[in-house]
Amino acid sequence: MVSQVRRHPLAAQAAELLLARIKDGEWPLGHRLPGETTLAAQLGVGRSTLREAIRELAGKGVLDSRQGAGVFVTALDPKDDWNVVLRRATIASVIEARIAIEAEAAALAAQRRTPADLRALRRALVAREAHGEPVAEHVDADMAFHRAVLLAAHNEVLTQLFDSFLPRLRLAMIDMLLLRPVPSESADHAAHAQLVEAIAARDSTAAAELSRNHLTALKEAFT
Protein backbone atom coordinates (compact mmCIF):
# COMPACT_ATOMS: atom_id res chain seq x y z
CA MET A 1 0.00 0.00 0.00
CA VAL A 2 1.36 3.43 -0.95
CA SER A 3 2.17 5.67 2.00
CA GLN A 4 0.12 8.84 2.23
CA VAL A 5 0.64 12.20 3.93
CA ARG A 6 -1.28 12.57 7.18
CA ARG A 7 0.23 15.63 8.85
CA HIS A 8 1.09 19.24 8.00
CA PRO A 9 2.84 20.90 6.27
CA LEU A 10 1.60 18.84 3.37
CA ALA A 11 4.00 20.07 0.70
CA ALA A 12 7.11 19.40 2.80
CA GLN A 13 5.89 15.91 3.68
CA ALA A 14 4.97 15.21 0.07
CA ALA A 15 8.50 16.21 -0.92
CA GLU A 16 9.92 13.85 1.73
CA LEU A 17 7.81 10.96 0.46
CA LEU A 18 8.78 11.62 -3.15
CA LEU A 19 12.45 11.76 -2.20
CA ALA A 20 12.16 8.49 -0.24
CA ARG A 21 10.61 6.75 -3.23
CA ILE A 22 13.32 8.11 -5.53
CA LYS A 23 16.04 6.88 -3.16
CA ASP A 24 14.32 3.47 -3.01
CA GLY A 25 14.75 3.21 -6.76
CA GLU A 26 11.09 3.49 -7.77
CA TRP A 27 12.06 6.12 -10.36
CA PRO A 28 15.67 5.74 -11.53
CA LEU A 29 17.88 8.60 -12.59
CA GLY A 30 16.59 10.15 -15.82
CA HIS A 31 13.10 8.61 -15.58
CA ARG A 32 9.85 10.55 -15.71
CA LEU A 33 7.49 10.65 -12.73
CA PRO A 34 3.82 9.68 -13.17
CA GLY A 35 1.39 12.42 -14.16
CA GLU A 36 0.15 14.96 -11.62
CA THR A 37 -3.27 13.36 -11.14
CA THR A 38 -1.84 9.91 -10.49
CA LEU A 39 0.96 11.09 -8.23
CA ALA A 40 -1.27 13.44 -6.21
CA ALA A 41 -3.72 10.59 -5.61
CA GLN A 42 -0.95 8.26 -4.51
CA LEU A 43 0.34 10.81 -1.99
CA GLY A 44 -3.11 11.87 -0.85
CA VAL A 45 -2.60 15.56 -1.59
CA GLY A 46 -3.99 18.12 -3.99
CA ARG A 47 -2.29 18.95 -7.26
CA SER A 48 -1.21 22.40 -6.00
CA THR A 49 0.47 20.79 -2.99
CA LEU A 50 2.16 18.29 -5.28
CA ARG A 51 3.46 21.08 -7.50
CA GLU A 52 4.92 22.82 -4.46
CA ALA A 53 6.64 19.59 -3.40
CA ILE A 54 8.08 19.17 -6.90
CA ARG A 55 9.34 22.77 -6.86
CA GLU A 56 11.06 22.09 -3.54
CA LEU A 57 12.85 19.03 -4.92
CA ALA A 58 13.65 20.85 -8.15
CA GLY A 59 15.33 23.54 -6.07
CA LYS A 60 17.50 20.85 -4.51
CA GLY A 61 18.49 19.45 -7.88
CA VAL A 62 16.54 16.19 -7.53
CA LEU A 63 13.79 16.86 -10.07
CA ASP A 64 13.53 18.81 -13.30
CA SER A 65 10.15 19.97 -14.57
CA ARG A 66 10.22 20.19 -18.36
CA GLN A 67 7.33 21.97 -19.99
CA GLY A 68 5.30 19.64 -22.18
CA ALA A 69 7.40 16.61 -21.25
CA GLY A 70 6.84 16.04 -17.53
CA VAL A 71 8.93 15.84 -14.37
CA PHE A 72 12.22 13.91 -14.49
CA VAL A 73 14.60 12.58 -11.85
CA THR A 74 17.94 14.41 -12.17
CA ALA A 75 19.65 13.34 -8.91
CA LEU A 76 19.17 10.65 -6.27
CA ASP A 77 20.12 12.88 -3.33
CA PRO A 78 19.47 16.57 -2.73
CA LYS A 79 22.51 18.78 -3.16
CA ASP A 80 23.69 20.63 -0.07
CA ASP A 81 22.61 24.20 0.34
CA TRP A 82 25.57 26.37 -0.70
CA ASN A 83 25.50 28.35 2.54
CA VAL A 84 25.66 25.11 4.51
CA VAL A 85 28.66 24.01 2.48
CA LEU A 86 30.47 27.27 3.19
CA ARG A 87 29.69 27.13 6.91
CA ARG A 88 31.23 23.66 7.08
CA ALA A 89 34.29 24.66 5.09
CA THR A 90 37.41 25.93 6.78
CA ILE A 91 38.42 29.46 5.90
CA ALA A 92 41.56 28.02 4.27
CA SER A 93 39.34 26.03 1.92
CA VAL A 94 37.36 29.14 1.07
CA ILE A 95 40.55 31.05 0.29
CA GLU A 96 41.79 28.17 -1.88
CA ALA A 97 38.57 28.50 -3.86
CA ARG A 98 39.14 32.25 -4.06
CA ILE A 99 42.60 31.63 -5.50
CA ALA A 100 41.09 29.48 -8.24
CA ILE A 101 38.43 32.08 -9.01
CA GLU A 102 40.33 35.33 -8.55
CA ALA A 103 43.59 34.41 -10.25
CA GLU A 104 41.66 33.49 -13.39
CA ALA A 105 39.47 36.58 -13.00
CA ALA A 106 42.55 38.81 -12.73
CA ALA A 107 43.91 37.33 -15.96
CA LEU A 108 40.58 37.84 -17.71
CA ALA A 109 40.29 41.38 -16.33
CA ALA A 110 43.67 42.22 -17.87
CA GLN A 111 42.38 40.98 -21.22
CA ARG A 112 38.88 42.42 -21.09
CA ARG A 113 38.90 45.50 -18.89
CA THR A 114 37.34 48.64 -20.29
CA PRO A 115 38.30 52.23 -19.45
CA ALA A 116 35.28 52.32 -17.13
CA ASP A 117 36.46 49.14 -15.39
CA LEU A 118 39.89 50.65 -14.87
CA ARG A 119 38.40 53.80 -13.37
CA ALA A 120 36.30 51.67 -11.01
CA LEU A 121 39.39 49.69 -9.98
CA ARG A 122 41.36 52.84 -9.22
CA ARG A 123 38.47 54.27 -7.18
CA ALA A 124 38.21 51.02 -5.23
CA LEU A 125 41.96 51.06 -4.62
CA VAL A 126 41.81 54.61 -3.22
CA ALA A 127 38.80 53.72 -1.05
CA ARG A 128 40.62 50.65 0.25
CA GLU A 129 43.61 52.73 1.35
CA ALA A 130 41.36 55.32 3.00
CA HIS A 131 39.53 52.76 5.16
CA GLY A 132 42.20 51.54 7.55
CA GLU A 133 39.99 51.72 10.63
CA PRO A 134 37.72 50.37 11.94
CA VAL A 135 38.56 46.84 10.82
CA ALA A 136 35.08 46.07 9.46
CA GLU A 137 35.18 49.11 7.17
CA HIS A 138 38.63 48.13 5.92
CA VAL A 139 37.44 44.60 5.16
CA ASP A 140 34.40 45.93 3.31
CA ALA A 141 36.59 48.24 1.22
CA ASP A 142 38.97 45.35 0.51
CA MET A 143 36.13 43.09 -0.59
CA ALA A 144 34.79 45.88 -2.82
CA PHE A 145 38.21 46.13 -4.49
CA HIS A 146 38.43 42.40 -5.17
CA ARG A 147 34.87 42.40 -6.49
CA ALA A 148 35.80 45.22 -8.88
CA VAL A 149 38.48 42.91 -10.32
CA LEU A 150 35.82 40.22 -10.80
CA LEU A 151 33.51 42.67 -12.55
CA ALA A 152 36.34 43.71 -14.88
CA ALA A 153 36.67 40.07 -15.96
CA HIS A 154 33.15 40.24 -17.41
CA ASN A 155 32.27 36.68 -16.39
CA GLU A 156 28.97 36.53 -14.53
CA VAL A 157 29.54 33.01 -13.22
CA LEU A 158 32.85 33.96 -11.58
CA THR A 159 31.24 37.03 -10.03
CA GLN A 160 28.39 34.97 -8.58
CA LEU A 161 30.82 32.44 -7.16
CA PHE A 162 32.79 35.23 -5.48
CA ASP A 163 29.59 36.74 -4.08
CA SER A 164 28.68 33.40 -2.53
CA PHE A 165 31.93 33.47 -0.53
CA LEU A 166 31.57 37.03 0.73
CA PRO A 167 29.53 36.57 3.93
CA ARG A 168 31.80 33.88 5.38
CA LEU A 169 34.96 35.51 4.11
CA ARG A 170 34.03 38.93 5.53
CA LEU A 171 33.50 37.61 9.06
CA ALA A 172 36.68 35.53 8.95
CA MET A 173 38.73 38.48 7.73
CA ILE A 174 37.39 40.73 10.48
CA ASP A 175 38.20 38.11 13.13
CA MET A 176 41.68 37.55 11.74
CA LEU A 177 42.60 41.22 11.50
CA LEU A 178 41.39 41.88 15.02
CA LEU A 179 43.73 39.16 16.29
CA ARG A 180 46.57 39.52 13.79
CA PRO A 181 46.75 42.85 11.98
CA VAL A 182 48.51 42.99 8.60
CA PRO A 183 52.27 43.21 9.29
CA SER A 184 52.75 45.99 6.75
CA GLU A 185 49.73 47.90 5.52
CA SER A 186 51.86 49.80 3.02
CA ALA A 187 53.20 46.56 1.50
CA ASP A 188 49.70 45.09 1.41
CA HIS A 189 48.34 48.15 -0.37
CA ALA A 190 51.29 48.14 -2.77
CA ALA A 191 50.42 44.56 -3.77
CA HIS A 192 46.90 45.65 -4.63
CA ALA A 193 48.21 48.66 -6.55
CA GLN A 194 50.52 46.38 -8.55
CA LEU A 195 47.53 44.22 -9.47
CA VAL A 196 45.70 47.27 -10.81
CA GLU A 197 48.73 48.27 -12.86
CA ALA A 198 49.05 44.76 -14.31
CA ILE A 199 45.40 44.86 -15.33
CA ALA A 200 45.87 48.36 -16.77
CA ALA A 201 48.86 47.11 -18.78
CA ARG A 202 46.81 44.14 -20.01
CA ASP A 203 49.44 41.78 -18.58
CA SER A 204 47.30 38.76 -17.81
CA THR A 205 50.22 36.61 -16.64
CA ALA A 206 51.38 39.15 -14.08
CA ALA A 207 47.83 39.88 -12.93
CA ALA A 208 47.12 36.21 -12.26
CA GLU A 209 50.42 35.75 -10.44
CA LEU A 210 49.92 38.84 -8.27
CA SER A 211 46.41 37.72 -7.32
CA ARG A 212 47.58 34.19 -6.55
CA ASN A 213 50.53 35.36 -4.46
CA HIS A 214 48.42 37.76 -2.42
CA LEU A 215 45.76 35.19 -1.64
CA THR A 216 48.30 32.47 -0.88
CA ALA A 217 49.89 34.76 1.69
CA LEU A 218 46.43 35.39 3.12
CA LYS A 219 45.79 31.67 3.43
CA GLU A 220 49.12 31.14 5.19
CA ALA A 221 48.19 33.86 7.66
CA PHE A 222 45.10 31.88 8.61
CA THR A 223 46.96 28.59 8.94
Angstrom distance (rounded) from CA 181 to CA 195 = 22
CATH number (domain holding residue 211): 1.20.120.530
Q: Which residue segment(s) compose the domain that 121 sits in?
A: 82-222
pLDDT in tens, 76-89: 777 665 555 555 56
Which portions of the chain are predicted below pLDDT 50? 1-2, 4-8
Given this model, what pLDDT does residue 158 score? 93
User: Do residue 92 and residue 202 come from a single domain?
Assistant: yes
User: Do residue 69 and residue 89 come from a single domain?
Assistant: no
Given this model, what pLDDT does residue 200 score? 98
User: Do residue 143 and residue 50 come from a single domain?
Assistant: no
Specify if 196 maps to a domain.
Answer: yes
Given this model, what pLDDT does residue 199 score? 98
Query: Which of 73, 101, 121 is a domain's end point?
Result: 73
Distance set, CA 107 to CA 101, 150, 161, 206 (Å): 10, 10, 17, 8
Q: Are 40 and 79 in contact (CB under 8 A)?
A: no
Q: What is the pTM of this model?
A: 0.62
User: Do residue 100 and residue 135 come from a single domain?
Assistant: yes
User: Do residue 154 and residue 103 come from a single domain?
Assistant: yes
219: Cβ–Cβ under 8 A, 6 or more apart, which residues?
A: 92, 95, 96, 99
Mean pLDDT of the chain: 85
Query: Which of 23, 53, 73 is a domain's end point?
Result: 73
User: Do residue 59 and residue 127 come from a single domain?
Assistant: no
